[in-house]
């Protein structure tokens, strides 16, 4: 009987010791795994710091706003980028702008109303304001790193996407010779009134015509060089120089007495500001 008790006690003791050993081993393995992860994370951070000190643009994503001065108008855009490799970033952007005809010319006018002189201006023969909205996708490629935090990073940007041409009728204010009343009119195959400079008083109201906008689908492509002069890599401050091409599914009538076209090409310079994370 005593032998059985001794054997039972020995077995229990062995089990306890084995359990404690196994538990200690599991804890040790968990601690080793956490330590390994910390070491790997520390090494990755050290590499990123080293690359940033060498002038590389290190980030996971970026967001930026820009304003463009085009050879045929203006534009403003928002851009979002996601880091792919040390030299490549995937981009998408939204842009709103306006195209102006190269022969547009403002004509000053002077009229009297209720005893006051009104100075105004209008664009002779302008049929529509041509706005465009773009949604594009592309890539940004690092060509030259900053070299140091006070340097300039040079990147190439290319891509393209969809365009929405928006034609808003252009209104002018006239003194109707038949009725003697002031009226706001748009071009409606009525050259005798719309193109008679002797009765034009100025342009129509600022919001006039927005409820008559016509949509025309199209496509666009963009290529540019960006010079990022931001002092710190997390801040995006850049000057961008590029070209833009657009093609629409129908001719876009902007200015009367001139040929309408479907294809538009311009060069631009843009100021870009944003952040990287």
Per-residue pLDDT of the chain (277 residues; tens, 9 = 90+): 555 555 545 545 555 445 555 455 545 566 777 888 777 767 655 555 555 554 455 678 899 999 999 999 999 999 999 988 888 999 999 999 999 999 999 999 876 666 667 788 999 999 999 999 999 999 999 898 765 556 788 999 999 999 999 999 999 999 988 888 889 999 987 678 899 999 999 999 888 999 999 999 999 999 999 998 866 677 889 999 999 999 999 999 999 989 999 999 999 999 999 988 8
The H or E element that residue 204 is part of is none
**CA of residue 239 relative to chain centroid, distance:** 14
Q: CA dihedral in degrees (181, 185, 188, 192; nearest 10)? A: 50
Neighbour tally for 141: CB within 10 Å: 14
Neighbour tally for 73: CB within 10 Å: 19
**pLDDT at residue 17 in the model:** 47
Of 181, 183, 257, 252, nearest in space to 213 by CA: 252
Instruction: Identify the three-state secondary structure at position 38.
Output: helix
Compute the 3-state secondary structure of the chain and give helix, strand, coil in percent, each to the nearest 5: 20, 55, 25
β-pairing, 261-276 vs 235-252, is antiparallel
Of 143, 157, 142, nearest in space to 77 by CA: 157
How far apart are alpha carbons 250 and 107 in whole angstroms?
A: 29
Q: What's the alpha-carbon Rg for the chain, to the nearest Å? A: 34
**pLDDT at residue 221 in the model:** 98
> Measured between alpha carbons, how far is residue 12 from residues 3, 15, 20, 175, 271 in Å?
14, 5, 12, 111, 78
How far apart are alpha carbons 130 and 248 in whole angstroms?
A: 12
Q: Which CATH architecture is the domain 60-276 placed in?
A: Beta Barrel (2.40)
**pLDDT at residue 55 in the model:** 46
Neighbour tally for 32: CB within 10 Å: 10
Residue 236, phi-psi category: left (phi > 0), alpha (psi -120 to 50), beta (remainder): beta
> Measured between alpha carbons, how far is residue 17 from residues 4, 23, 24, 130 in Å?
20, 10, 10, 84
**pLDDT at residue 64 in the model:** 95
Task: Give the predicted TM-score (pTM) of the model.
Answer: 0.76
How is the chain split into domains, by residue range?
A: 1-53, 60-276
**pLDDT at residue 190 in the model:** 66
Alpha helix ranges (H) inside the chain? 2-53, 191-194
According to DSSP, residue 171 is labeled P
Q: Max alpha carbon distance in the chain (Å)? A: 131
How far apart are alpha carbons 210 and 254 in whole angstroms?
A: 16
SS3 for 101-163 is CCCCCEEEEEEEECCEEEEEEEECCECEEEEEEEEEEEEEEEEECCCCCCCCEEEEEEEEEEE
């Amino acid at each position: 009987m005593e032998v059985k008790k001794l054997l039972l006690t020995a077995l229990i003791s062995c089990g306890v010791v084995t359990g404690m050993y196994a538990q200690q081993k599991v804890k040790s393995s968990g601690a080793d795994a956490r330590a390994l992860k910390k070491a790997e994370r520390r090494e990755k951070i050290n590499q990123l710091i080293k690359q940033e000190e060498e002038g590389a643009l290190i980030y996971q994503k970026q967001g930026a706003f820009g304003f463009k001065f085009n050879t045929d108008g203006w534009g403003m855009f928002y851009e979002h980028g996601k880091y792919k490799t040390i030299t490549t970033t995937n981009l998408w952007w939204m842009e709103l702008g306006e195209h102006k005809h190269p022969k547009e010319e403002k004509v000053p006018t002077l009229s009297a109303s209720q005893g006051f002189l009104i100075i105004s201006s209008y664009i002779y023969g302008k049929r529509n304001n041509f706005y465009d909205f773009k949604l594009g996708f592309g890539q940004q490629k690092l060509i030259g790193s900053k070299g140091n935090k006070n340097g300039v990073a040079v990147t190439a940007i290319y891509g393209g996407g969809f365009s929405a041409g928006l034609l808003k009728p252009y209104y002018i204010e006239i003194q109707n010779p038949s009725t003697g009343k002031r009226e706001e009119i748009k071009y409606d195959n009525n050259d005798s009134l719309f193109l008679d400079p002797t009765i034009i008083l100025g342009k129509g109201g600022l919001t006039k015509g927005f409820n008559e906008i016509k949509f025309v689908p199209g496509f666009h492509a963009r290529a540019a060089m960006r010079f990022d002069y931001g002092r710190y890599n997390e801040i995006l401050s850049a000057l961008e120089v590029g070209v833009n091409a657009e093609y629409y599914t129908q001719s876009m009538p902007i200015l009367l007495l001139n040929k309408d076209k479907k294809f538009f090409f311009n060069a631009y310079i843009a100021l870009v500001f944003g952040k990287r994370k």
